[in-house]
């Protein structure tokens, strides 16, 4: 039996403490935490800069276009990245995305500060920044497998997710302060700087174990999508995420417009909403290892239903404090979802196929929210922000109910199949 990697010597298997004692993983985790603070600021600044640039004309449409441009073009470009995904190690994938994000968002910040940024240029630069987004997402998921032993994968997934959620506690609130003092441009500039920090963390980290060699199915995105169909668990969580994230998309348009036009409040309130969501999600993410004992799919469906219920009050009550409570609870119930989703993909991907299957799953799930966001712009313009939030919540509850019925039917069939299987001779 081979000895453990140098920076894992003497570290017991499993658990958060063991994962944190890996120098390579901890370095990368720190980079993700800093980058998440910048992304937390952008959650507020991205929409607020669009509101400023719209000057009251087509505000909802521009907000939707900006948010969609921050992610969607990368998913389209990702269709041609199959060979890069199969040949580059996870750290290189993260590095490429971080450098492009830093440069493009830096240009947005400079243009906004100088007052020369137009709405078209804004959406265009956001689209450029997202072109390698699939590399970053895939690299983050596969880095856990490359930098930690299997017994620490759940802990590693939880730490990256919790670091992101925890950073969002400070990010939106900090964005509200920066925007109030200097405008949205500097807030986006801070996100650009945070991606530069992530790039530095990637350079400083080192591989401690080489992942399995990619299979022939990992050589193109088309083959990876075909392989996804043959992995029921990975396909199942992918479909669930497409529905969940797609129905969430309109929230990112409706919420800032709701704050601005319905509550007549400023970016500080919007930042407060996302900060409370992040506080709840951080607590929920820390409980991922506990709630998995109830069944991964049961938890996933329960998260969908509970999140939808948290959106319903926005359709009936114009209250800042009710919104604070709704998003805090919403974050709490949502917290375990991402760590468990990542673990499902890691555990059910054959050796050598994780990078390709993760990319194939991401190329289907990541566009779901931006597409929902893009559709949310016209929806907000047609029926208003409060009805849009209500519609998103009710549709999510309905989707969770359908998923629950499918889950019960599937588990019933599986139980009957197991019951009909004769015992294996000893």
Q: What pLDDT does 291 receive?
A: 75
Q: What pLDDT does 207 receive?
A: 56
Residue with tokens 């804004």: 122
* Category of 135 on φ-ψ map: left (φ > 0), alpha (ψ -120 to 50) or beta: alpha
Q: Could you tell me the pLDDT band of residue 89, with boundaries at 50, 70 and 90? A: low
Instruction: Name which of 81-90, 200-209, 296-305 the model is least confident about.
Output: 81-90
Of 222, 164, 151, residue with least CA distance to 338: 164
- Give the integer Cα–Cα distance in Å for 77 and 132: 7
390-410 mean pLDDT: 90
Among 188-192, 317-321, 351-355, the range with the most confident prediction by mean pLDDT is 188-192
Instruction: Name which of 123-132, 143-152, 176-185, 279-288 the model is least confident about.
Output: 143-152
Of 250, 229, 204, 247, residue with least CA distance to 61: 250
DSSP letter for each residue of 264-289? ---HHHHHHHHHHHHHHHHHHHHTHH
- Give the integer Cα–Cα distance in Å for 91 and 344: 21
Q: What pLDDT does 244 receive?
A: 93
Residues 26-55 as b/e (b if ≥16 CB within 10 A, e otherwise) read bbbbbbbbbbbbbbbbbbbbbbbbbbbbbe
Q: Could you tell me the pLDDT band of residue 85, with boundaries at 50, 70 and 90? A: low
Instruction: Name which of 50-64, 110-124, 308-322, 376-390 the model is least confident about.
Output: 50-64
pLDDT higher than threshold 90 for residue 395 = yes
Decide if 122 contacts 66 (C-beta within 8 A): yes
Task: Just give the CATH number of 20-205+218-417.
Answer: 1.20.1250.20
- Give the integer Cα–Cα distance in Å for 304 and 337: 9
Q: What pLDDT does 8 receive?
A: 40
- Give the integer Cα–Cα distance in Å for 74 and 177: 30
3-state secondary structure of 295: coil
3-state secondary structure of 58: coil
Instruction: Name which of 77-86, 101-110, 183-192, 409-418 the model is least confident about.
Output: 77-86
pLDDT higher than threshold 60 for residue 218 = no
pLDDT higher than threshold 60 for residue 409 = yes
Could you give the dihedral angle defined by the CA atoms of residues 279, 282, 284 and 288, in that order, rounded to the nearest 10 degrees?
Answer: 180
pLDDT in tens, 147-157: 777 667 777 77
* Category of 384 on φ-ψ map: left (φ > 0), alpha (ψ -120 to 50) or beta: left
3-state secondary structure of 243: helix
Q: Could you tell me the pLDDT band of residue 211, with boundaries at 50, 70 and 90? A: low
Average pLDDT, the chain: 80
Q: Could you tell me the pLDDT band of residue 233, with boundaries at 50, 70 and 90? A: confident
pLDDT higher than threshold 50 for residue 422 = no
Angle between helices 23-54 and 90-114 (to 10 degrees): 30
Q: Can you give the pTM of this predicted structure?
A: 0.68
220-234 mean pLDDT: 75
Q: What pLDDT does 6 receive?
A: 37
pLDDT higher than threshold 50 for residue 426 = no
Residue with tokens 């004992």: 293
Q: Could you tell me the pLDDT band of residue 376, with boundaries at 50, 70 and 90? A: confident
Spell out the residues 6+ positions from residue 295 whose beta carbon is closer than 8 angstroms to its own: none
Decide if 33 contacts 16 (C-beta within 8 A): no
Q: What pLDDT does 106 receive?
A: 94
As a whole-number percent, the residues of the chain with pLDDT over 70 amount to 84
pLDDT in tens, 115-157: 899 999 999 999 999 888 777 777 777 777 777 776 677 777 7
Decide if 122 contacts 108 (C-beta within 8 A): yes
As a whole-number percent, the residues of the chain with pLDDT over 90 amount to 23
């Amino acid at each position: 039996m081979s000895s453990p990697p140098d920076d894992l010597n003497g570290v017991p298997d499993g658990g958060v403490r063991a994962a944190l004692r890996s120098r390579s993983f901890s370095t990368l985790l720190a980079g993700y935490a800093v980058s998440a603070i910048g992304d937390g600021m952008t959650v507020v600044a991205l929409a607020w800069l669009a509101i400023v640039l719209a000057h009251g004309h087509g505000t909802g449409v521009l907000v939707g276009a900006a948010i969609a441009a921050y992610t969607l073009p990368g998913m389209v470009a990702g269709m041609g990245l199959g060979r890069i995904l199969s040949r580059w190690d996870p750290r290189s994938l993260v590095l490429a995305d971080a450098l492009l994000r830093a440069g493009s968002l830096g240009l947005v910040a400079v243009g906004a500060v100088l007052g020369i940024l137009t709405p078209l240029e804004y959406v265009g630069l956001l689209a450029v920044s997202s072109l390698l987004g699939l590399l970053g997402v895939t690299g983050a998921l596969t880095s856990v497998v490359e930098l930690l032993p299997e017994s620490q994968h759940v802990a590693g997934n939880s730490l990256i997710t919790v670091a992101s959620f925890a950073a969002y506690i400070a990010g939106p609130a900090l964005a509200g302060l920066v925007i109030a003092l200097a405008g949205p441009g500097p807030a986006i500039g801070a996100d650009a700087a945070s991606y530069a920090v992530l790039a530095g963390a990637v350079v400083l980290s080192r591989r401690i174990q080489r992942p399995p060699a990619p299979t022939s199915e990992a050589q193109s995105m088309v083959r990876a999508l075909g392989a996804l169909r043959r992995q029921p668990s990975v396909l199942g969580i992918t479909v669930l995420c497409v529905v969940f994230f797609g129905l969430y998309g309109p929230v990112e348009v409706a919420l800032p417009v709701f704050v601005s036009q319905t509550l007549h409040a400023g970016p500080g309130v919007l930042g407060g909403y996302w900060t409370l969501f992040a506080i709840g999600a951080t607590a929920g993410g820390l409980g991922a290892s506990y709630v998995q004992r109830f069944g991964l799919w049961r938890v996933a469906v329960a998260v969908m239903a509970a999140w939808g219920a948290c959106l319903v009050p926005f359709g009936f009550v114009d209250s800042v404090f009710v919104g604070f409570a709704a998003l805090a609870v919403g974050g709490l119930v949502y917290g375990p979802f991402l760590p468990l989703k990542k673990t499902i993909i890691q555990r059910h991907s054959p050796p050598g196929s994780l990078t390709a299957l993760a990319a194939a799953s991401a190329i289907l799930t990541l566009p779901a929210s931006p597409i929902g966001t893009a559709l949310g712009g016209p929806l907000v313009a047609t029926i208003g922000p409060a009805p849009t939030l209500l519609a998103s919540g009710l549709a999510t509850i309905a989707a969770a109910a359908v998923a629950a019925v499918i889950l019960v039917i599937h588990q019933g069939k599986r139980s009957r199949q197991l019951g009909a299987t004769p015992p294996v001779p000893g």
